[in-house]
Amino acid sequence: MSFKKILISVDESQFSIEAVKRGVELGKAIGAELGLIHVIDESQTVGNIDAGISPADALKILETETEKLMQGLIDLYIHDLPLTKFTPIGKPAAQIIKTAEQWNADLIVTGTHRTTGWRRLIIGSISEDIIRHSKIPVLVVPLA
C-alpha cells in the first residue's frame, strides 16, 4: 500500500502535537501530500444567550481560534511544506472521515488523550470513533 495523502487531525490539546510531528515526519519520509484538519464542533456554535454571545458570534470566535491553532502548528512543525487546510463545521469524527474520503486521503493521523473509565464515557473518544467508522487506515499517535 502506498500513502500519497496523509490527513492529520488536530484539536487544541497537546496530544495533537504528537500527531502533527509524526504525520509530518512520515509525510516527508515517503513524499506524501499533507492535509491538516480541525473540525469546528457544531455543538459549540450555539453561543450563550446569557453571556450575550449569539450563534454568529460563537462561530466567528471559533473560526478565529481555529485559524490561530492551525497557523501555530504550521509555524512550529510544518513550516513551508505544501499543505491543504480543512476547517469544516460538524461532528469531529464524522467530518474527519468525510473530508478524508473526499480528499482521497490514504491515511488519517490523530492524537489521543487516552481517556478511560467514566471520563471516556462522558466525553467520548474522537480517535476511537474514527477507528470504528473509517474505511481509510488510521494512525493513532499517543503522547510520547
Pairing of strands 40-41, 89-90: parallel
Closest distance of CB 74 from ligand AMP, Å: 15
Site string for ligand AMP, 91-130 (x = CB under 6 A): -x---x-------------xxxx-x---------xxxx--
Closest distance of CB 52 from ligand AMP, Å: 25
> SS in 3 state form for the chain?
CCCCEEEEECCCCCHHHHHHHHHHHHHHHHCCEEEEECCEEHHHCCCEHHHCECHHHHHHHHHHHHHHHHHHHHHHHHCCCCEEEECCEECHHHHHHHHHHHHCCCEEEEECCCCCHHHHHHHCCHHHHHHHHCCCCEEEECCC
Name which position in 32, 37, 105, 107 contacts ligand AMP (CB under 6 A): 37
Does the footprint of ligand AMP cover residue 21 (CB under 6 A)?
A: no
Residue closer to ligand AMP, measured from CB, 115 or 134: 115
Binding site for ligand AMP (CB under 6 A): 9-11, 13, 15-16, 19, 37-39, 41, 92, 96, 110-113, 115, 125-128
